[in-house]
């Protein structure tokens, strides 16, 4: 198992490889698309270009993803990773929709009597062989680094998925264009001139659902939606014994995922008086217990009689203390931050 301290170094190294690999594929794709008149290659090249810019941003985000709270970011920097994965999925989704619209436009033009330029097949063969091998190498590198880092990095997970999908698209597009080329004077003669656009349309329609799923998953994290039942049950089993041993009762608990981190709120009724030092000691013990079962967890201990929502009767009958009515009656603690 890889040491925790090695995780960021492994991730940064993998993202540097992703950056240069995607730059190579993007430039190659655009040049080959111009020379071969292939829309499928152009889409593939643009896909890699997005991967290049994402690797640059991902490397910067990765360097701070596990930094703790500070004055600027009181809840740490985990949200940056969730924002990154969400908008990368949105960018790829936009590319797929653009490619589908472009393919439909080409097919419509052909039906109206305007055939596209003839495909230069020799360049297509060389491109798909070289780029397919590059995608395979990048996928292997990202997945290996993701596993070595404890399977926690959402950036590496998305980069690995992106390389895999790029490789699948490349292979499928290459095989499709080969079939169209072989049978261009036979049974596929009526559609051969727009075979390239048909392949783009079919492949994009097949994978667009994946990016919709990734985009929705990222939005859920940013909205603070509860983590999966397995994670919630795991943390609950880890915290409950400590709280029972302390003599109190776990009133409620929430777990939300944000990037590679998990925010755990434990609502606890101690059934006794507790000093601030005792609350801090218990909170640290809970935090360590959660970390043991779910890396990246951060526990906030909330001492209360109630759960995540106030009872309506309490809210209705609530009266603001006099000391808060008059600002002059409130004296901040000398230890309070500026």
Length of the chain: 338
CA-to-CA distance for 119 and 193, rounded, in angstroms?
Answer: 8
pLDDT in tens, 176-205: 888 888 888 888 888 888 888 888 888 888
| Domain-wise residue ranges, the chain | 6-223, 229-318
The span from the CA of 256 to the CA of 81, in Å, is 14
For residue 324, pLDDT beyond 50: no
- pLDDT attached to residue 24: 93
User: What is the pLDDT, as a whole number, of residue 52?
Assistant: 85
Do domains 6-223 and 229-318 share one topology? The answer is: no
User: Of the ranges 68-82, 233-247, 313-327, which one carries the lowest mean pLDDT score?
Assistant: 313-327
229-318 CATH fold: Alpha-Beta Plaits (3.30.70)
How high is the pLDDT of residue 7?
67
- Pick 111 or 151 by higher pLDDT: 111
35-39, 149-153, 217-221, range with the lowest pLDDT: 149-153
Query: Tens digit of pLDDT for each residue in 251-305?
Result: 999 999 887 788 899 999 999 899 999 999 999 999 999 999 988 888 999 999 8
Q: What integer pLDDT is reported at residue 6 of this predicted model?
A: 67
Average pLDDT, the chain: 83
* pLDDT, position 254: 92
Distance separating alpha carbons of residues 110 and 167, to the nearest angstrom = 29
DSSP E strand stretches across 162-279: 249-258, 261-269
Angle of the 154-182 helix axis to the 78-111 helix axis, nearest 10: 20
What's the pTM value of the predicted model, to 2 decimals?
A: 0.70
Q: What is the mean pLDDT of residues 117-144?
A: 87
CATH fold of 6-223 reads Alpha-lytic protease prodomain-like (1.20.1510)
For residues 331 and 187, is the Cβ–Cβ distance under 8 A?
A: no
What 3-state DSSP class applies to 201? helix
Rounded (5°) CA angle 232-237-242: 125
The residue among 89 and 5 whose pLDDT is bigger is: 89
């Amino acid at each position: 198992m890889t040491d925790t301290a090695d995780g960021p170094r492994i991730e940064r190294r993998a993202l540097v490889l992703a950056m240069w690999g995607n730059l190579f594929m993007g430039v190659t794709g655009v040049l080959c698309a111009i020379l071969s008149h292939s829309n499928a290659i152009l889409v593939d090249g643009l896909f890699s270009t997005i991967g290049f810019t994402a690797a640059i941003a991902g490397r910067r985000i990765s360097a701070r993803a596990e930094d703790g709270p500070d004055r600027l970011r009181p809840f740490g920097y985990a949200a940056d990773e969730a924002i990154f994965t969400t908008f990368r999925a949105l960018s790829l989704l936009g590319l797929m929709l653009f490619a589908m619209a472009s393919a439909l436009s080409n097919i419509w033009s052909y039906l109206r009597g305007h055939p596209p330029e003839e495909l230069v097949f020799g360049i297509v063969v060389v491109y798909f062989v070289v780029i397919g091998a590059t995608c395979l190498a990048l996928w292997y590198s990202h997945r290996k680094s993701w596993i070595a880092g404890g399977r926690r990095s959402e950036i590496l997970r998305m980069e690995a998925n992106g390389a895999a999908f790029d490789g699948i698209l490349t292979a499928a597009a290459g095989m499709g264009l080969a079939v169209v080329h072989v049978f261009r004077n036979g049974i596929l003669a009526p559609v051969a001139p727009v075979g390239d656009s048909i392949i783009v349309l079919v492949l994009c329609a097949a994978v667009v659902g994946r990016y919709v799923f990734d985009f929705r998953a990222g939005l859920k994290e940013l909205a603070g939606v509860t983590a999966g039942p397995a994670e919630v049950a795991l943390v609950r089993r880890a915290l409950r014994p400590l709280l029972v041993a302390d003599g109190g009762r776990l009133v409620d608990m929430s777990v939300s995922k944000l990037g590679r981190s998990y925010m755990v709120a434990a609502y606890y009724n101690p059934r006794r008086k507790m000093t601030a030092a005792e609350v801090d000691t218990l909170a640290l013990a809970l935090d360590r217990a959660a970390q043991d079962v779910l890396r990246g967890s951060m526990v906030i201990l909330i001492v209360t009689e109630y759960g995540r929502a106030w009872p309506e009767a309490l809210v209705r009958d609530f009266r603001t203390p006099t000391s808060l009515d008059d600002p002059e009656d409130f004296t901040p603690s000398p230890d309070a931050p500026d």
